[in-house]
Structure formats: C-alpha cells, structure tokens
Amino acid sequence: MPFDFRGKKVLVTGAGKGIGRGVAIALNKAGSKVYALSRTKSTLDSLVEECPDIIPIVADLCDWEDTREKLEQLEVLDGLVNNAGIGGHDYDAVDCPKEYIKHILDNNLLSAINCSQVVAKKMIESKVKGSIINCSSVGSLAAYPRALPYSVSKAGMDMVTKQFALELGPNGIRVNSVNPAVVYTPLVQNLVENGTLSLETVINNIPMGRILTMEDIVDPIMYLLSDHSAMVTGQMHVVDGGCMSSLIVKV
C-alpha cells in the first residue's frame, strides 16, 4: 500500500534504533517532516546521517517536565508514534522491587501519556485531525515469565489508547495501539546471538512459521497514521503471525 505523507509532520519517540528508527525512515521516505526523539545522541546522529531531513530531539522521556518543555517548542503535529520503551524481564514477580517497577512504568507508560497530552492539546487548539500510535506488545495480552512490570506497562498502554481515543475522538484525533510479538530488531538479533533468546523457540510458537521483520510492524504503523485508517480508533492491532491463537506460548 503506497503511503503519501507529504505536508505531514510526525514525532517518533525511541527513534534512534529498532522499530522507531524504521518508522522514522519510512515516514521520511513517504514525504513527512519527521521529528525523531531519543535519549541517545549517537543513534540520532547516525539516523540523520542516513536521512538528513529528519530533525533530532535528544530527551530523556523519564524527565516529565523537560520532555514537556521540549515538545511544547514543536509546531503542531499531524501524528505521534509513542515507541520509546525498555524491557523488564529481570525479576520473578514475587521479588520484583518497587523502584524497578516504577522505572519500567516511567519509561514505557508514563512517557507515552506525557507526550500524548502535549501533542494532542496542540492538535485540539489548532483543529488538526491527527493520529497517535502507541507501540504496545502481545505482552499486554498474555503473561510471560519474569515480565511483571513490562506486561503491566503494556496492558496500561492499551487502556491509555482506549481512554485517549474516547476523549479525543470528538476532535477528529485517532488513537490506536500496535501489539507485536517478537520483532527481529538488532536488539533481538543480539539476544539470539548471545544465547539469551532462542530463535527456534520463538518461531515454533508462530503459526506463520517465521519471526516478525521490521517491515511487518512498520507498515501497520504507517497505515494507522495514514488516512487509509480514517475511521479506525481505540483499537489494539495484534501483529504476531498467529502466536496468540496458541494455548501454549513460550519465550
């Protein structure tokens, strides 16, 4: 499906690598003015080297006030992709420390609420009918070993999607989640190579018989940002090759 984002302006968080980087590049190629946010300057520098038109923003989304100040300086946007987030699979549920849980929620959930508030208010004030995409996970729909804070953060993200969709719908602003299974990003590739993650096990749980590629999740995000999905809002879009249809899921 061809996407034309000429004249559009979109912010992508967590854009230095992985899915966020893929979305930023795809939007740039489709003609959008792209603001790419990451806490790591070096990854943004390499992104700008690849796509010189992309505008980098270095910010730590866990710093609520600093993030708001930086986003308030931006022009009115047509789209937001809340992609920034981290894993949280280091503790069994009964041993998971409070500060660790708060750290994951700050990174994965509160940051998306903060960005959505700032961007949506500017859309409302300027009467822009925009689209917000929250990058969730199949971890919001099923429990995984040692994933208490991560799964809670993603389940919360799905409810944030519904709540914002309900309240922003009258303003013509759509809000959706994408819920991918394991995507073969450079991070996942490293986990496979060092033996932390079994690629065979992942693929065995996917009826379609392969792991998700970057394009498998970037394209649905592009669709949800575009006018092709003009009446789609408040929805969780599972992209998993069918693995959630199985009664047995292992990672």
Q: What is the pLDDT of residues 76-121, one digit of tens each?
A: 999 999 999 998 889 999 999 999 999 999 999 999 999 999 999 9
pLDDT of residue 197: 82
pLDDT grade, residue 13 (50/70/90)? very high
CA dist 193 and 232 (Å) reads: 38
pLDDT grade, residue 248 (50/70/90)? low
Write down the H helix ranges in 12-135. Answer: 18-29, 41-50, 64-72, 98-105, 111-126
> Bridge partners of 237?
178
pLDDT of residue 195: 84
CB-CB neighbours of 45 under 10 Å: 14
pLDDT of residue 185: 87
DSSP SS3 for 63: coil
Q: Percent of the chain having pLDDT more than 70?
A: 98
DSSP SS3 for 58: strand
* Dihedral-angle region of residue 112 (phi above 0 means left; psi in -120 to 50 means alpha; beta otherwise): alpha
Average pLDDT over residues 16-45: 98
Give the sheet arrangement for strand 131-135, strand by strand.
Answer: 55-58, 33-38, 9-13, 79-82, 131-135, 174-180, 236-239
Average pLDDT over residues 151-168: 98
Q: Is the pLDDT of residue 246 over 90?
A: no
pLDDT of residue 194: 87
CB-CB neighbours of 247 under 10 Å: 4
Residue indicated by tokens 């190579």: 193
CA dist 141 and 202 (Å) reads: 17
| Cβ atoms of 47 and 54 closer than 8 Å | yes
Q: What is the pLDDT of residues 169-227, one digit of tens each?
A: 999 999 999 999 999 988 788 878 888 788 998 899 899 999 999 999 999 999 999 99
Q: Which sequence positions are flagged as catalytic?
A: 150, 154
Query: Average pLDDT over the chain, rounded to whole?
Result: 95
Which CATH number does 9-245 carry? Answer: 3.40.50.720
pLDDT of residue 22: 97
pLDDT of residue 251: 53
pLDDT of residue 250: 54
Q: Is the pLDDT of residue 9 over 80?
A: yes
Structure tokens at 126: 């300027």
pLDDT of residue 161: 98
Q: Is the pLDDT of residue 164 over 60?
A: yes
pLDDT of residue 247: 61
- Reference 177, options 82, 58, 45; nearest CA is 82
Long-range CB contact pairs, 99-107, < 8 A, 24+: 100/149, 101/148, 101/149, 101/152, 103/62, 103/149, 104/149, 104/150, 104/152, 104/153, 105/149, 105/152, 105/153, 105/156, 106/61, 106/62, 107/61, 107/62, 107/153
